[in-house]
């Protein structure tokens, strides 16, 4: 039955003979592990197409909705975070593999006659791979993606005709809105894949037409078949690539920052790692010379790659004799590594909250209610007012307060509590919400105590926190994005030193209390 089925397939489609013809390709005797990168690059592209399709099933391609849909994918869709991790890290690994493939071809001299066109198509494929990274980077629509793309488009704008290109993309004027987002998305999922697939087919056709380049002197040696030896090596290389991807997905979580905020001038923008070298190079060319680093040098590099087969048309020599090509590759690698490392080292430390991280209920309720939980626990109110029970005293989680008892009555009902403590309990029992009831059961004691210290020292008179408090001082939500814990502690001790002109008085907390209030404030999300 199987033979009959395969015979039917072959008779109707010719598929089996086509596959057999592809696998029976003659390759030089010198072919081996250094030829596997092309197959790995092809597999990486197909993996990006597959994972991108899975993401697109739940992705909404408009600003705002894009961020919400991506958060839904990561937090709600089965294996959504794994799929996103595969697409994210797969893109980086694909850029690495394509880059290494170009370096290997350059060092071996596989661009020489008659393979000039094959090399030029490979250069264009490298540029398209980088374009995939640029257009896809924006689509998360968080602060990191938005501001990183702003930096990259600013660099693009320095090129001749750059303003026209940015106007076409809808990114003119240093801002990115709905039009630019739509065009980046269209390029990422439609234009670039079609162009990439067409050039890959052309590239494979040219490789098959001219064959794999043999080592000099091996042209007359008996050839071998692509299958099974080279197929086995390609498969092992692809497996190693998959293993690296799996480790990245498992060990390094892809963060999703907060929704892009074009007004957030405190965010320090940086492009993705594969453009950091260009970003750093711009610092070497200030003022009118900026165009040299942004446009002239990259254009010369690309022009050199395209013209290389026509510049170097000498006879092929063995790898160990290609000292000039090896030297150029080493210098280029050192320059790229140095610029990228410098860019990373000089990037100011900034913390961007992961919007997919789980936030506890106690982190979202006002400090007054959380402080009330601390008082409720310390005063042993739960001995009688047990949440979920009403046999000894009213269950305050369901009692009809303040309809039955107003705030004035409740204030008199707590003769043994200080004013701030009584107010905290009243805030808890009169302003119940689903979050506060959940926090009543689950809030850590240290967090509740930190909130009580915050309330009893009048911090809420000047600062807003979780929608409650004054506006004299800055809001304290997302404080950890702006300052580290030690800065907060030092600021309590000497506010004017860290915020010149501040009206905030110094607080000499006991070490334990200082830790509690600081840890509480640092834990509150933006």
Choice among 36-50, 233-247, 337-351, 408-422 with the minimum mean pLDDT: 408-422
Choice among 16-30, 70-84, 148-162, 314-328 with the minimum mean pLDDT: 148-162
Alpha-carbon gap, residue 119 to 131, rounded angstroms: 19
pLDDT for the residue 165:
66
Are 379 and 512 found together in one domain? yes
Of all residues in the chain, the percent with pLDDT exceeding 70 is 92
Contact 31, 223 (CB under 8 A): no
User: At residue 349, does pLDDT exceed 90?
Assistant: no
Choice among 221-230, 238-247, 446-455 with the minimum mean pLDDT: 221-230
Q: Of the segments 257-271, 336-350, 383-397, which one has the largest average pLDDT value?
A: 336-350
pLDDT digit string, tens, across residues 53-86? 999 999 999 987 999 899 899 988 999 999 999 9
Q: Which residue has the tokens 């003022």?
A: 287
Alpha-carbon gap, residue 188 to 155, rounded angstroms: 20
Choice among 225-239, 354-368, 459-473 with the minimum mean pLDDT: 354-368
Alpha-carbon gap, residue 54 to 70, rounded angstroms: 12
Alpha-carbon gap, residue 495 to 508, rounded angstroms: 11
Alpha-carbon gap, residue 428 to 43, rounded angstroms: 58
Mean pLDDT for the stretch of residues 162-181: 71
In which band, very low, low, confident or very high, does the pLDDT at 224 lie, cut at 50, 70 and 90? Answer: confident
Tokens of 384: 């009688």
Mean pLDDT for the stretch of residues 141-170: 76
Are 255 and 384 found together in one domain? no
More confident position, 35 or 423: 35
Contact 260, 148 (CB under 8 A): no
3-state SS class at 142: strand
Pairing of strands 224-225, 26-27: antiparallel
Mean pLDDT for the stretch of residues 367-373: 89
Residue 519 lies inside a defined structural domain of this protein: yes
User: At residue 368, does pLDDT exceed 70?
Assistant: yes
Domain boundary among 270, 294, 316: 270
Q: Of the segments 87-91, 149-153, 282-286, which one has the largest average pLDDT value?
A: 87-91
**H/E segment holding residue 26:** strand 26-27
Domain tally, the chain = 2
User: At residue 403, does pLDDT exceed 60?
Assistant: no
In which band, very low, low, confident or very high, does the pLDDT at 383 lie, cut at 50, 70 and 90? Answer: confident
- Side-chain-side CA neighbours of 299 within 13 Å: the count stands at 11
3-state SS class at 27: strand
481: DSSP letter: G
Residue 11 lies inside a defined structural domain of this protein: no
In which band, very low, low, confident or very high, does the pLDDT at 352 lie, cut at 50, 70 and 90? Answer: low
Tokens of 348: 């100011």
323 Cβ contact list (under 8 Å, min separation 6): none
Alpha-carbon gap, residue 87 to 133, rounded angstroms: 11
Tokens of 497: 């030193």
511 Cβ contact list (under 8 Å, min separation 6): none
Phi-psi region at 71: left, alpha or beta (left = phi > 0; alpha = psi -120 to 50): alpha
3-state SS class at 468: strand
Residue 473 lies inside a defined structural domain of this protein: yes
Residue 278 lies inside a defined structural domain of this protein: no
pLDDT for the residue 166:
66
More confident position, 212 or 332: 332
Mean pLDDT for the stretch of residues 155-163: 70
Q: Which residue has the tokens 């092309």?
A: 38
Alpha-carbon gap, residue 455 to 147, rounded angstroms: 37
Domain boundary among 270, 304, 338: 270
Mean pLDDT for the stretch of residues 131-143: 92
Contact 244, 85 (CB under 8 A): no
Residue 395 lies inside a defined structural domain of this protein: yes
User: At residue 405, does pLDDT exceed 80?
Assistant: no
Q: Which residue has the tokens 């009809």?
A: 400
Are 67 and 199 found together in one domain? yes
More confident position, 147 or 411: 147
User: At residue 417, does pLDDT exceed 80?
Assistant: no
Are 247 and 98 found together in one domain? yes
Phi, psi of 464 (to 5 degrees): -90, 145
3-state SS class at 259: strand
Alpha-carbon gap, residue 259 to 144, rounded angstroms: 9
Q: Which residues pair with 468 in a beta bridge?
A: 465
Phi, psi of 469 (to 5 degrees): 130, 180
Tokens of 192: 């670039």
Q: Give the residue among 278, 389, 384 at the shortest CA–CA distance from 335.
A: 278
Residue 452 lies inside a defined structural domain of this protein: yes
Phi, psi of 328 (to 5 degrees): -60, -45
What is the 3-class SS of 63-93, one letter each residue?
CCHHHHHHHHHHHCCCCHHHHHHHHHHHHHH
Residue 330 lies inside a defined structural domain of this protein: no
Alpha-carbon gap, residue 132 to 167, rounded angstroms: 19
Domain boundary among 239, 270, 301: 270
Indicate the Cα dihedral angle 197, 201, 202, 205, nearest 10°: 170
Mean pLDDT for the stretch of residues 514-521: 94
User: At residue 400, does pLDDT exceed 70?
Assistant: no
3-state SS class at 429: helix
Alpha-carbon gap, residue 361 to 450, rounded angstroms: 15
Q: Which ranges constitute the DSSP H helices of 225-273?
A: 231-251
More confident position, 237 or 356: 237
Are 247 and 381 found together in one domain? no
Q: Which residue has the tokens 């994918």?
A: 73
pLDDT for the residue 170:
66
How many separate helices (H) and strands (E) can be counted in the chain? Answer: 23, 4
Chain-centre distance for alpha carbon 453: 37
pLDDT for the residue 399:
60
**The CATH number of the domain where 210 resides is what?**
1.20.810.10
pLDDT for the residue 404:
63
Residue 3 lies inside a defined structural domain of this protein: no
Indicate the Cα dihedral angle 314, 318, 320, 321, nearest 10°: -30
In which band, very low, low, confident or very high, does the pLDDT at 419 lie, cut at 50, 70 and 90? Answer: confident
pTM for the predicted model, two decimal places: 0.76
- Counting every residue written for the chain, the total comes to 526
3-state SS class at 469: strand
Contact 189, 182 (CB under 8 A): no
Mean pLDDT for the stretch of residues 6-30: 86
**The CATH number of the domain where 480 resides is what?**
1.10.760.10
Tell me the average pLDDT of the chain: 87
Alpha-carbon gap, residue 110 to 316, rounded angstroms: 9
Range of the domain at 195: 28-270
Tokens of 53: 């399709």
User: Max alpha carbon distance in the chain (Å)?
Assistant: 104
Choice among 8-22, 40-54, 254-268, 345-359 with the minimum mean pLDDT: 345-359
């Amino acid at each position: 039955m199987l033979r009959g089925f395969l015979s039917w397939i072959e008779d109707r489609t010719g598929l089996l003979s086509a596959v057999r013809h592809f696998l029976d390709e003659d390759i030089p005797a010198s072919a081996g592990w250094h030829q596997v990168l092309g197959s790995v690059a092809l597999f990486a592209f197909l993996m990006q197409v597959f994972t991108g399709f899975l993401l697109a099933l739940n992705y909404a391609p408009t600003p705002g909705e894009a961020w919400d849909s991506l958060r839904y994918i990561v937090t709600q869709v089965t294996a959504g975070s794994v799929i996103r991790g595969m697409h994210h890290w797969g893109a980086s690994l694909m850029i690495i593999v394509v880059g290494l493939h170009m370096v290997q071809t350059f060092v071996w001299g596989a661009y020489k006659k008659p393979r000039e066109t094959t090399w030029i198509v490979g250069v264009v494929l490298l540029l398209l791979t980088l374009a995939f990274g640029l257009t896809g980077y924006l689509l998360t629509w968080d602060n990191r993606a938005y501001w990183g793309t702003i930096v990259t488009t600013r660099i693009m704008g320095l090129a001749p005709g750059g303003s026209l290109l940015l106007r076409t993309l809808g990114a003119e004027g240093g801002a990115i809105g709905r039009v630019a987002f739509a065009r980046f998305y269209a390029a990422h999922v439609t234009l670039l894949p079609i162009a990439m697939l067409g050039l890959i087919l052309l590239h494979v056709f040219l490789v098959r037409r001219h064959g794999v380049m043999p080592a000099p002197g091996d042209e007359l040696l008996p050839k071998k078949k692509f299958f099974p030896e080279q197929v086995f090596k390609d498969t092992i290389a692809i497996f190693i690539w998959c293993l690296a991807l799996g480790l990245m997905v498992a060990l390094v979580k892809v963060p999703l920052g907060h929704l892009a905020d074009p007004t957030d001038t405190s965010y320090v923008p940086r492009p993705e790692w594969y453009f950091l070298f260009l970003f750093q190079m711009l610092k070497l060319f200030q003022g009118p010379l900026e165009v040299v680093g942004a446009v002239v040098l990259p254009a010369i590099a690309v022009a050199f790659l395209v013209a290389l087969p026509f510049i170097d048309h000498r006879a092929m020599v063995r790898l160990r004799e290609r000292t000039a090509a090896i030297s150029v590759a080493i210098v280029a690698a050192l320059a790229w590594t140095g610029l990228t490392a410098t860019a990373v080292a000089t990037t100011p430390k900034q913390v961007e909250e992961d919007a997919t991280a789980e936030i506890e209920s106690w982190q979202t309720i006002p400090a007054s209610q959380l402080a009330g939980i601390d008082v409720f626990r310390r005063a042993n109110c739960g001995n009688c007012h047990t949440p979920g029970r009403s046999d000894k005293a009213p269950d305050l989680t369901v009692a009809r307060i303040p309809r039955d008892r107003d705030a004035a009555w409740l204030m008199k009902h707590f003769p043994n509590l200080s004013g701030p403590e009584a107010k905290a309990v009243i805030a808890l029992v009169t302003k119940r919400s689903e979050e506060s009831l959940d926090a009543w059961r689950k809030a850590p004691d240290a967090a509740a105590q930190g909130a009580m210290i915050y309330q009893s020292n009048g911090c809420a008179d000047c600062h807003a926190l979780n929608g409650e408090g004054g506006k004299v001082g800055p809001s304290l939500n997302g404080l950890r994005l702006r300052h580290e814990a030690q800065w907060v502690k030092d600021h309590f001790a000497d506010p004017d030193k860290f915020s010149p002109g501040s009206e905030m008085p110094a607080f000499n907390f006991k070490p334990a209390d200082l830790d509690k209030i600081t840890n509480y404030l640092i834990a509150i999300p933006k």
